[in-house]
Structure 1
Amino acid sequence: MGKRKKPPIKIGPDKGLAEQEIFNLNKEFYNDYAKDYFGTKLVLLSSILSNPDKFIDVLHDGEDVKVGVLSYKLDEDDLTKNELEKFARLELATTYYHCLETFLRLFLAHVSIPACPWLEISRDTDFRKFKKTVSDLLEDNFKYDDTQFTVVENLLYVFYGNYQEETFSQQGISREEAKGILMKWIKWAAKDFISVYDYNAFKHGLTVSTDTQGLTIGRVDETFKLEERGDALKFIAKKQKTERWVWEKKYVFTPLDFRAVAINIYSGLINNLLKVGRVTYLKEEQLDKMLFLGGKDAVPEHFHQMVKTENELGISLQGYSMELLYYRLDK
């Protein structure tokens, strides 16, 4: 028998790509990117939660709702105030994770200063691989191709451009401290992105609901008790035990005030990446209206502590779970 010929290796999509195409892709990417998406969504959802009655009045003003050729009129019982508030709370809680993922993908697409960040985002379609990359980032194992910049300069450049030393000193921090503040936000995003199930459950159509929950662990009069009250996402998940799998109901506390602050800051950092990208790839010269995280308190832990209930040991409750009841099985 003759030897089976190996199929020819296919040429990758980057080889021979015209330089003009790279420039056109960069121009299209930075001109068309929906840079205000999360900021706009935050304003709308916060406005609904601040004044739901006003939105209900607008929706029930008798005018037709129109989307293209679709036109319909809402009845008074089609959408209640309670349903609208639930929608806004759930949407704000899950938008937080969408924002984190977008921020991480944009950061990873820019930090090595490739020829075309849009291509970098487009080639990273394997979610497991992306999650592994984010885990490496969280554990300080992330590596990227060498460029003309050091790690510190790369990090500062993609967020702040060619900011000089005096810019940082005016904020009372050094370049190294500025890098540390940025890394805290990057690692916070990485930590929350890889450790939660609720966003993925919501994204893939599983049942997730928002609710107000409260839990106290320990006696009320104990000094070191753990307790939390507030918004929480509720969902069902599998849990592996020694002898079997079981179902459990999980609650993840989602302080909406912190998530709103975080969305606002991550949205600002996304805009920084895009503005510096315009300078880098489109040769624009002006950097204005940038978010600068100056001051040593400009870190996620500081904002999170402002809204979480901590005991005297500095420990706070992030969530809890309850295993569903099962009949005893005969062995």
Structure 2
Amino acid sequence: MENTGSGSFLRHRRLESFLDTKSGPNVRETPKISSKEVARQKPNTDDFVDDDGWISTLISCVRIVTCFLTMMVTTFIWALIMVLLLPWPSQRIKQGNIYGHVTGRLLMWILGNPIKIEGKEFSNERAIYISNHASPIDIFLIMWLTPTGSVGIAKKEIIWYPLFGQLYILANHLRIDRSKPSTAIQSMKEAVQAVINHNLSLIVFPEGTRSKNGRLLPFKKGFVHLALQSRLPIVPMVLTGTHLAWRKGSLHVRPAPISVTYLPPIKTDSWTDDKIDDYVKLVHDIYVENLPEPQKPIASEDTKNSSSS
């Protein structure tokens, strides 16, 4: 793979600016903010009124159908582009990121939720970007807001997801074989080597699954292993309100306010293999500190889940 040029990067940024805040929902970007202030400045979800009336439900259905059709169109377009770019893997990664930025931004514009973005000065680091996960909306936000040169890590079975799975492969994102521990470890090592060799960033959901009620789940250890092998810093992305906007198992999208906060990078240069559990707890505690009360884990449940995992 080869590095992308500065000229193409600038053209990409102009494309993003065309789809930026003035044409979308109420997005506000604020300058620097300390992590201790984050929890106090989350959108006021207490003012959000949950409306299950037929008009609200109809509007939600229209939004979801429009999102689906939009994603089908953009996925088809970028799949064609990346087929033409098969001989140039690095260009396919870049186009995969452009696809995510454009599609994620469009989908959030269609859904219409008020969005507040904080700490964006940390959004262009070469790093391992991690995020809590409680809604399908989290995927749209990650697609939109992670930097060019980022790749995800997914199970190898993603190839069977219609159209999207094939685009994932074409975009040169990484897959791991989780059929047995030895192959999973080997797949992870190969993924990290690709990240190191080609100066990429990673995107990881450390909970390993989606929370059913928005409360933070225990973190798996995979993201720490990735950090130990790559020595990349970890940039936490704290998402709030998405679990109210689109609840798990529901087809009703609500106009709940959403915030995305990038926290300062966590350096991993001095991390050692004998303290993996400590690092997992360190990063998990940062999320607990910065999430609003309704999204914090319940202590007894968190302890129970940690002991059983």
Common fold: TM-score over 0.5: no
TM-score after normalising by structure 1: 0.24
TM-score after normalising by structure 2: 0.26
